[in-house]
Amino acid sequence: MNDYVFIFDIGKVLLDFNFVPLQEKIAECAQAPLSQVQSEWSNPAYVDVETGKTDDRAYYDEFCARIGLTWTFEEWVDQWAELFTPNPFVHGLYLDLHERGHAVAMLSNIGPHQVTAIGRGVPGFFDVGTHHFFSFELGLHKPDPAIYRTVSQKLGRQPQHCVFLDDAEANVRGAKGIGMHAMQVTPENHSDVERFVRSFTVDDPQVL
């Protein structure tokens, strides 16, 4: 078996989601304009949650105060859990690589409540993989070059032996910038992703 490790982003790569139904539900329950909910949703301060600088419960309390939402934190997490569904192609690729003996890992900009929600909504999702790297645990955020260096070191691989898949072009550029092989995943390019991954599994031509 070859020495490459295949690193997958989670959101819009391994898992699909759509925030709008939850935003609409929050707006209805809080009797707030949807535009206000969506504005708060994209608050740049959320990066502090995803890098572990701000407790996600404290952030949520502030979010509720600004919006007028009265859900408990656990209710919030349960609502998040309903958002996620496996991407049939990419998640299937991830599982197949693992089953055939290739090292697979996850790397995501993510907060603790999202990890909990995914575990609830997609049981067994985190049971597969060499490592799961979460930005809030690493204290780093893609596309910071340091996050890719940290991950390659923890995996015991040189960057040139890491293959990274992400839906964000900036994150792909960041990985390539330190020497990783990387490709952007879009809904339209699955066949190209398949060929890209196959090129690193020449010792296992049936991997896909």
What would the pLDDT profile of 67-106 be if each residue is shown by its tens digit?
999 999 999 999 999 999 999 999 999 999 999 999 999 9
pTM: 0.94
Query: 49 and 134 share a domain?
Result: no
Query: 59 and 112 share a domain?
Result: no
Sign of the alpha-carbon torsion through 10, 5, 142, 113:
positive
Structure tokens at 197: 């991954």
Torsions phi, psi for 183 (to 5 deg): -150, 140
Q: Which helix (H) or strand (E) holds 80?
A: helix 73-81
Query: 58 and 136 share a domain?
Result: no
Please state the domain count of the chain: 2
Q: Residue 1: is its pLDDT beyond 80?
A: no
In a domain, 206, yes or no: no
